[in-house]
Structure 1
Amino acid sequence: MGGNVRPVADERDGLLSYLEQQRHVLRIAAYGLTDEQAGRAPTKSPLTVGGLIKHVAYTERGWMDTVLQRKRPAESGAKAYDQHFDFGPQDTLAGVLAFYDEAAKETEEVIAGIEDLGQPVPVPRDAPWFPKDIEAWSVRWVLFHLIQETARHAGHADIVREHLDGATAFPLMAAAEGWPESPWMKPWQSA
Structure 2
Amino acid sequence: MPGFAPPAADERTALTAYLAHQRRALRVTAYGLTDDQARTAAPVGELSIGGLIKHAARCETFWTDLVLRQRRGPQRKADESDADEFRLAPDESLADVLAAYAEAAERTDAVIAGIPDLGQAVPVPRGLPWFPEEVGEWSVRWVLLHLIEETARHGGHADLIRESLDGATLYPLLATAEAWTDPWFQPWEPAPADLGPQQASAD
Q: With structure 1 as the length reference, what TM-score do the two structures score?
A: 0.92
Gaps of 5+ in 1: none
Shift of 1:85: 1.1
Residue matched to 2:105: 104
Residue matched to 1:8: 8
Equivalent residue of 2:172, what SS? Answer: helix
Equivalent residue of 1:121, what SS? Answer: strand
Residue matched to 2:115: 114
Q: C-alpha separation between the residues in 1 aligned to 2:82 and 2:64?
A: 16
Q: C-alpha separation between the residues in 2 aligned to 1:14 and 1:119?
A: 18
Distance 1:62 1:74, change over 3 A: closer
1:140-177: CA deviation from partner (whole Å, max 9, x where unpaired): 00000000000000000000101111111111111112
Equivalent residue of 1:75, what SS? Answer: coil
Gaps of 5+ in 2: 192-203
Report % sequence identity.
Answer: 54
Residue matched to 2:23: 23
Q: C-alpha separation between the residues in 2 aligned to 1:74 and 1:97?
A: 19
Please say if 1:147 is aligned against 2:148: yes
Please say if 1:50 is aligned against 2:41: no
CA contact (8 A) 2:120 2:139 kept: yes
CA contact (8 A) 1:61 1:103 kept: yes
Shift of 1:84: 1.9
Q: C-alpha separation between the residues in 2 aligned to 1:140 and 1:73?
A: 21
Aligned residues: 190
Q: With structure 2 as the length reference, what TM-score do the two structures score?
A: 0.87
1:21-61: CA deviation from partner (whole Å, max 9, x where unpaired): 00000011111101110111131110000000010110011
Residue matched to 1:185: 185
Structure showing the higher helix proportion among its residues: 1
Q: Which moved more, 1:119-128 or 1:129-138?
A: 119-128
Q: C-alpha separation between the residues in 2 aligned to 1:126 and 1:166?
A: 43
Shift of 1:127: 3.0
Amino acid at match of 1:120: A
CA contact (8 A) 2:26 2:53 kept: yes
Distance 1:80 1:118, change over 3 A: farther
Shift of 1:74: 6.5
RMSD: 2.0
Shift of 1:95: 0.8
Distance 1:83 1:30, change over 3 A: same
